[in-house]
Structure 1
Amino acid sequence: MSTTVDPSAPKRKRFIPLENNPEVMSSLLHKLGLSPSLQFHDVFSIDDPDLLAFVPRPAHALLLVFPVSEKYEKFRHEEDSSKPEYEGSGEGEPVVWYKQTIGNACGLIGLLHGVSNGPAKAYIQGGSDLDRLVKSAVELKPKERAELLETTDALETAHQAAAATGDTAAPAAEDSVDLHYVCFVKSEKNGHLWEMDGRRKGPLDRGALGADEDVLSPQALELGVRAFLKRESEAGGGDLRFSLIVLAESLD
Structure 2
Amino acid sequence: MAEPQRWLPLESNPDSFNRWSASLGLETSPEHGGYTFQDCFGLDPDCLSWVKQPVKAVLMLFPVTDAYEKMRKDQDAQVEEDGVEGVEDVIYFKQTSQFLAATLSLPRSLYAACPRRCPDPRVQPAVANACGTFALLHTLANADVPLKEGPLTELFARCKDKTPLERAQLLSASDELASVHEETAQTGQTATPALEDEVDLHFVTFVDHNGYLIELDGRRNSPINHGKIEKGLLEDTVEVVKRIIELTQSIQFNLVTLSPATEDD
Residue 119 of structure 1 aligns to a residue in which SS?
coil
Task: Return the match for 1:124 from 147, 170, 185.
Answer: 147
Partner AA of 2:14 in structure 1: P
| Distance in 1, Cα, partners of 2:9 & 2:94 | 17
Q: Which runs of 5+ in 2 are unaligned?
A: 29-33, 101-128
- One-letter identity of the residue aligned with 2:147: I
1:3 — aligned with what?
A: none
* C-alpha deviation, 1:70, in angstroms: 1.9
Q: Does structure 2 retain, via aligned residues, the 8 Å contact 1:16–1:172? A: no
| C-alpha deviation, 1:117, in angstroms | 1.1
SS across alignment from 2:165: helix
Q: Deviations over 1:87-116 (max 9, x none)?
A: 99xxx8242111112332111111111111
Larger mean Cα displacement after TM superposition, 156-165 or 108-117: 156-165
Aligned length: 226
Structure 1 164/248 Cα, relative in aligned 2: closer, same or farther at 3 Å? Answer: same
Per the alignment, residue 126 of structure 2 pairs with none
TM-score by length of 1: 0.80
- CA gap of 1:172–1:10, structure 2 versus 1, over 3 A, is farther
In structure 2, distance between residues paired with 1:77 and 1:134: 28
2:208 corresponds in structure 1 to 186
Please tell me whether the aligned partners of residues 159 and 167 of structure 2 are also in contact (alpha carbons under 8 angstroms): yes
| Separation in structure 2 between the aligned mates of residue 85 and residue 35 of structure 1, nearest angstrom | 40
Matched, 1:226 2:242: yes
Deviations 1:18-70 (A, max 9, x none): 11110100110111111112110000011141x32222101100000012222
Aligned position for 1:84: 80
2:226 alignment counterpart: 206
CA RMSD of aligned residues (A): 2.8
- For residue 55 of structure 1, the aligned residue among 51, 54, 65 is 51
Are 2:16 and 1:27 equivalent residues in the alignment? no
Per-residue deviation, 1:130: 1.1
Match of 2:132 among 82, 85, 107: 107
In structure 2, what is the equivalent of residue 215 of structure 1?
A: 233
| Structure-2 residue corresponding to 1:72 | 68
Counterpart Cα distance in 1 of 2:205 and 2:171: 17
The residue type equivalent to 1:77 in the other structure is K
1:98 maps onto 2:93 in alignment: yes
AA matched with 1:117: N
**1:165 and 1:201 mapped to 2: Cα distance?**
33
Q: Which residue of 2 aligns with 1:16?
A: 8
Q: CA deviation at 1:171?
A: 5.0
TM (norm. structure 2) is 0.76
| Partner SS for 1:205 | strand
99-108 vs 57-66, which moves further: 99-108
Q: Which residue of 1 aligns with 2:116?
A: none
